[in-house]
Chains A and B, each alone.
Chain A
Amino acid sequence: GAVVSQHPSWVICKSGTSVKIECRSLDFQATTMFWYRQFPKQSLMLMATSNEGSKATYEQGVEKDKFLINHASLTLSTLTVTSAHPEDSSFYICSARGGLAGGLSYEQYFGPGTRLTVT
């Protein structure tokens, strides 16, 4: 099956610094990638959708200047949390969807997540 990786799996950073999270589709080309955020014992909340080579579309209430998304290639998307604060501490999960010959695949494949702790 399709595999999505994330790096790092966990990161601790100091308040005010920036941190970058990578999401890679390992065995397929991801035309669309998604970034989700999950707080403890809660559901996944979509932050933004990105298509390769174009600007990301952010969900209402998500600060685009704080959460920078770059989908520079069909296998890599990055999320940069700028000027991180303790309230940004969360589990960040990416997912990827590829296109199939003759049509678009509905299935989204999820990465293992990145645990961000801001001290």
Chain B
Amino acid sequence: GENVEQHPSTLSVQEGDSAVIKCTYSDSASNYFPWYKQELGKGPQLIIDIRSNVGEKKDQRIAVTLNKTAKHFSLHITETQPEDSAVYFCAFMKTSYDKVIFGPGTSLSVIP
């Protein structure tokens, strides 16, 4: 069935440190892996995504890595800032189902 695990569920880091969030999916047919940031009371915002034919993608302080063999993908945030504090969701999509399935989320707190 469709399932994605996300760890950790909560994460606190000091400003300037790096944060890493990891997800594991179960269906090898998954081919698109977006990451969303959700601030309190708002809708989720796409921050980076990766497709199954790519192993790594970077956008300024944010990077995503994908290991298709192990069915793992991770979000890396470097030089964290207080405004990075939010809930982060990994997600995946299977072309045949054409919908995005969300992980349980990670609450990130960046301490000034």
Contact = CB atoms under 8 A, between A and B. Distances in A.
Interface of A: 4, 6, 32, 34, 36, 42-46, 49, 93, 95, 106-113, 115
Please tell me the size bucket of the interface on B.
20 to 34
Given A34-B99, A46-B99, A106 B32 contact: yes
Q: Please report whether the interface of chain A is mostly helix, strand, loop or mixed according to DSSP.
A: strand
26 contacts: A6-B43, A34-B100, A36-B102, A42-B104, A43-B89, A43-B104, A43-B105, A44-B44, A46-B99, A46-B100, A46-B101, A49-B98, A93-B43, A95-B43, A106-B34, A106-B93, A107-B34, A108-B34, A110-B36, A110-B45, A110-B46, A112-B42, A112-B43, A113-B42, A113-B43, A115-B41
Interface string B95-112: 000111111110000000
A109 B34 CA distance: 11
